[in-house]
């Protein structure tokens, strides 16, 4: 490996970069799996809401979750604004899923169409 100016990189530095990148790759995989698990749960919430004709969004719950996540981020030394942006993105996707589920759920029986 060389730098952008083609200077050789110390093998110890190369090894440390490789070790750190392996950890990053593992963390990224865990994040993807955790998000997949989260969306499995929110899909079930969406079905329950649709069956009982509840609205796809719950602004008070969302506000509570954002405040909670900001506190968690602060305690973890993560930028709370970044954590809030991430959660807002996830919430928007969940609401979109819930709206789609509601559109495809029979209003009289609560079954999926």
Worst-scoring range by mean pLDDT, 6-20, 75-89, 94-108? 94-108
Share of the chain above pLDDT 90, in %: 84
- Compute the distance between CA of residue 23 and CA of residue 19 in angstroms, rounded to an integer: 6
Which has more confidence, 65 or 7?
65
The pLDDT confidence band at residue 4, using thresholds 50, 70 and 90, is low
pLDDT tens-place string over residues 33-46: 999 999 999 999 99
How many residues are present in the chain? Answer: 113
Q: What is the pLDDT of residue 113?
A: 55
What is the helix (H) or strand (E) element at residue 39, kind and residue range?
Answer: helix 11-51
Report the 10 Å Cβ neighbour count for 101. Answer: 21
Contact (Cβ atoms closer than 8 angstroms) between residue 73 and residue 59: no
Buried b (16+ CB within 10 A) or exposed e, 55-91: ebebeeebeebbeebbeebeeeeeebeebbeebeebb
Taking the whole predicted model, whether its pTM rises above 0.85 is answered as no
pLDDT tens-place string over residues 43-81: 999 999 999 999 999 999 999 999 999 999 999 999 999
**Distance of CA 5 to CAs 11, 30, 107, Å?**
17, 35, 65
């Amino acid at each position: 490996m060389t730098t952008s100016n083609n200077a050789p990189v110390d093998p110890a530095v190369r090894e440390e970069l490789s070790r750190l990148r392996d950890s990053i790759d593992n963390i990224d995989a865990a994040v993807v799996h955790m998000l997949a698990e989260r969306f499995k749960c929110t899909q079930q919430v969406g079905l329950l809401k649709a069956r009982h004709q509840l609205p796809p969004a719950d602004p008070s719950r969302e506000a509570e979750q954002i405040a909670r996540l900001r506190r968690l981020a602060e305690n973890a030394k993560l930028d709370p604004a970044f954590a809030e942006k991430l959660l807002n993105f996830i919430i928007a996707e969940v609401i979109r899923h819930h709206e789609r589920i509601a559109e495809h759920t029979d209003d009289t029986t609560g079954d999926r169409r």
